[in-house]
Amino acid sequence: MKYFEDIRVGDVVMTGSHTFNAEEIKSFARRFDPQLFHMDEAAAAQSHFGALCASGWHTASAWMRVMIDQQRELQDATIARGEKIPMRGPALGLRDLKWLKPVYVGDTITYKSEVTELRVSNSRPGFGLLTILTTGVNQDGAAVISFYSTTFNERRSVP
Amino acid sequence: MTERLHFEDFKAGDVAIYGPRHVTREEIIAFAAEFDPQPMHLDEAAGTASLLGGLGGSGWHSCSLLMRMICDGFILNSTSMGSPGVEEVRWLRPLRPGVNLRVRSKVLEVRTSKSRPDMGLVRLTFEMIDDSDDVLTTMTTTLMLGRRAPGAAA
């Protein structure tokens, strides 16, 4: 967990991995994206995807979970050192979200993020705006998702 | 059953509205617990202490709800082939417990695919609005749809 001042453009974080099983793919799809190629193996086999695959929003949401799990470990370490935790979030938005390849049952997606832009918030002087490029790569090394997101990140000091 | 919507059924300038969809506190917390367990999405006091100014749902929950509303609105009754991605999402206001969501949609552009003659691309913008017509989330995206007449000039 870092204050805005301690973050640099080009910093890279390896966030972690998630393996998608059929039950969770269908569970997400039933609630949020009930297109047949995300819900039913036989229908998916007949579709242009060729097999059951995860909703793109599931692939993105799974990154968030992996990222928050990692952040919580860092927060625990920060608290253990007796230091204050910088406030991060919420995000303002996303751009250039690309679903590059389907995520199939059993695929393991490894996510990483790189800092691409840092600027001070005009509306909230205690915060900076952190933009990161997140990519997810499958077990064969093929990119399946990428997007830019911009999030409030607390500053250590306000001039 | 009526015939499914094909690429040819979408025209630039088409508008529609979908919903309403009621959102409970329980489902906001359940989504956050599964995908985005930050205290501001799980707990009123933590939400109040955050920039959300109260319990507010994950931005991914807003996107997922918008997806479900457009699925129910038209995608499930279409020749959808998925989406290559999303140009932009803006989370303008928090997703609050008890809100009744609606989605305003507008077709921006339609074009055929050179590489896939059986497919066309429809670019749309969506606004997810609350009971007061305030815009919570906007999304601009492209959907891939099967064509009624593959390979014909659009």
Tokens of A135: 């990519």
Residue B38 exposure: Cα atoms within 13 Å on the Cβ side: 27
pLDDT tens digits for A61-113? 999 999 999 999 988 998 999 988 898 888 999 999 999 999 999 999 999 99
Cα distance from N-terminal residue to C-terminal residue, chain B:
26
Number of domains in chain A: 1
Q: Is A159 part of any domain?
A: no
Q: Tokens 């997140």 sit at which residue? A: A134
Pick the closest to residue A136 from B85, B63, B143 (CA basis).
B85
A1, A76, A84, A86, B31 from A79: Cα distances, Å: 11, 5, 7, 11, 27
Q: Are A95 and A103 in contact (CB under 8 A)?
A: no
Q: Which residues lie across from A97 on neighbouring strands?
A: B86
> Which one-letter amino acid corresponds to residue B35?
F
CATH number where A12 lies: 3.10.129.10
**For residue B32, what is the nearest residue in chain A, using CA coordinates?**
A65
Q: Is A30 part of any domain?
A: yes
Pick the closest to residue B17 from B141, B96, B133, B146 (CA basis).
B133
Q: Is B106 part of any domain?
A: yes
Q: What is the pLDDT of residue A157?
A: 81
Q: Is B29 part of any domain?
A: no
Which of A31, A89, A93 lies nearest to residue B40, judging by beta carbons?
A89
Yes or no, beta carbons of A65 and B65 under 8 Å apart: no
Number of domains in chain B: 1
Tokens of B146: 């099967």
Q: How far apart are CA B8 and CA B141, in angstroms?
A: 18
Q: Is B128 part of any domain?
A: yes
Mean pLDDT per 10-residue section of chain B, whose length is 154 residues: 88 98 98 96 94 95 98 96 96 98 98 92 98 98 93 60
Name every chain B residue with its beta carbon within 8 A of the beta carbon of A33: 64, 67-68, 71
Tokens of A75: 């927060």
Pick the closest to residue A67 from B29, B97, B59 (CA basis).
B59
CATH number where B111 lies: 3.10.129.10
Cis peptide before B20 (omega within 30 of 0): yes
Q: ipTM value of the model?
A: 0.95
Q: What is the pLDDT of residue B75?
A: 97
Q: Is A101 part of any domain?
A: yes
Residue B131 exposure: Cα atoms within 13 Å on the Cβ side: 7
Q: How far apart are CA A105 and CA B151, in angstroms?
A: 32
Phi then psi for residue B91, to 5 deg, are -95, 95
Query: Strand (E) positions, chain B?
Result: 15-22, 85-91, 100-112, 119-129, 135-146
Structural domain boundaries enclosing B77: 7-23+58-146
Yes or no, beta carbons of A64 and B36 under 8 Å apart: yes
Q: Which residues lie across from B57 on neighbouring strands?
A: none
Q: What is the pLDDT of residue A1?
A: 76
Name every chain A residue with its beta carbon within 8 A of the beta carbon of B94: 90
Yes or no, beta carbons of A93 and B91 under 8 Å apart: yes
Structural domain boundaries enclosing A129: 4-154
Q: What is the pLDDT of residue B153?
A: 55
Predicted TM-score (pTM) of this structure: 0.95
Q: What is the mean pLDDT of chain A?
A: 95
